[in-house]
Amino acid sequence: MNSFSLSRRRFVLQGVAGAVVGTVSGSSLGRANASSARLRLAGIGIGGMGAADLESLSSHPNVDVVALCDVDGNRLAQAGDKHPQARRFADFRKMFDAMADSIDAVHVSTPDHTHAPAAMTAMHCGKHIYCQKPLTHDVYESRQLRLVAERNRLVTQMGIQVHSASAYQTAVALVQSGVIGRVRETHSWSNKTWGYDGAEPESSPIPAHLDWDLWLGTAPQRPYCEGHFHPGNWRRWYDFGCGTMGDMAIHILDPVFNALKLGVPNRIVSSSSPPPKSSYGMQNHTRYSFAAATPFTTSDFVLTWSDGGKMPDTSTWPTRIRDGQPVKLPDQGSIFLGEKGAILLPHVSKPVLLPQAEFEDFTIEMVPHRNHYHAFVDACLGGESTTAHFGYSGPLTEAVLLGTLANRFPHQELIWQHETMRIPNHDGAQNLLRRTYRQGFEVIDLS
């Protein structure tokens, strides 16, 4: 390693020691500001969705944006124009070197492969974390973020904004009311196709405004290719994104896991077509089984996910509308099939009870919307706890990422041993639970 990397390693080790020894002071950093009712926020990844996250968080009246970090100089300048008081950085490690004592909370809105490195580094400095979905790129990273956040008693929230929306919260309450009885199966789907099956991209000159080495970060070294990785399309590639499941299943399966209080799956199998070598498949169909029932599921409950326009078979569903015709499925959504009926949940829209004729006299009481971003800020300042904290979103992300793994090995059932993080029947999948970070970008508790 060069001397710059070595200095980063020393810094992170010192941060770990401080976080472990000073758990109370570290975990209460944001809450300590409750007396002045201000939260000092830093943004890592501030273009695209990151720009939206920054504006939503900073719209809270008690937030001061004190630092901005992005490897794209153009995006950094645009955000800086809106927040001129904030210091600017290309490297989040340098940001924490310079400003660790002046930051209370951080939002991480980078491509997926940098979520865990940035969030973990911030947590080692005692910072509360708002991290975009999916929480991490790899299963091991999700487990580690959850454990460190709990150990250091930090406020966390994953950026699944619709988790707090009225439609999704209402669906959770409706399922748990028992109106359709225990749920025997759920089907969820998205018409999106985050995959690439073309020729290997050709390298091209790196734009002057982009630090490509920092953009790659922990991922393997590869040349810049115009139009394929930055600023968009990185979701298609194994090295950087998590495909359609990472983009949409993390949203759409959230109310399913939340409503049914699902634990971890123990078996996952994909009936997808073989994926391209370096990218996610265009159409996926994934089936999850669980070891035990919950208070809201039958003992034989199964969950399925479909994407890329591969819609589920509705022929046996009790989904007739008043004229006897089958209900038209939305492009994205879920259905809960229970003992006494079904709940169709479009993404994101009001849930519908089916068959309609049997529920004509049932009134659905809508649960109020909650601002997902402001809930995080309020929690940092001593308010009510977040609901998409890493203790919830970590296991949810693990389940989704196990699905992305299964899609890489079609028709080969993966047995998941949650406690030991083992897939004992498939060495290929086991080896993909955790990646080796590129030299110079190692992070304590992840590398």
Residue-wise pLDDT for 263-282, tens only, equals 999 999 999 989 999 999 99
0.85 surpassed by pTM: yes
Positions of the chain with pLDDT under 70: 1-36, 320-324
Q: What are the tokens at 127?
A: 């910072």
pLDDT for 29: 42
Answer yes or no: are the C-beta atoms of 15 and 124 closer than 8 Å.
yes
Q: What is the DSSP string of 52-115?
A: HHHHHHHTSTTEEEEEEE-SBHHHHHHHHHH-TTSEEES-HHHHHHHHGGG-SEEEE-S-GGGH
What pLDDT does residue 325 have? Answer: 72
CATH top-level class of 3-162: alpha beta
Domain boundaries, the chain: 3-162
pLDDT at 36: 59
What pLDDT is attached to residue 32? 40
* Phi-psi label, residue 179: left if phi above 0, alpha if psi -120 to 50, beta otherwise: alpha
Sequence length of the chain is 447
Residue listed under structure tokens 């046996």: 316
| Predicted pLDDT at 11 | 33
Q: How far apart are the first and last CA of the chain?
A: 14
Q: What is the pLDDT of residue 322?
A: 56
Residue-level pLDDT at 326: 74
Judge whether 188 and 303 are in contact, CB under 8 Å: yes
Eight-state DSSP code of residue 427: H
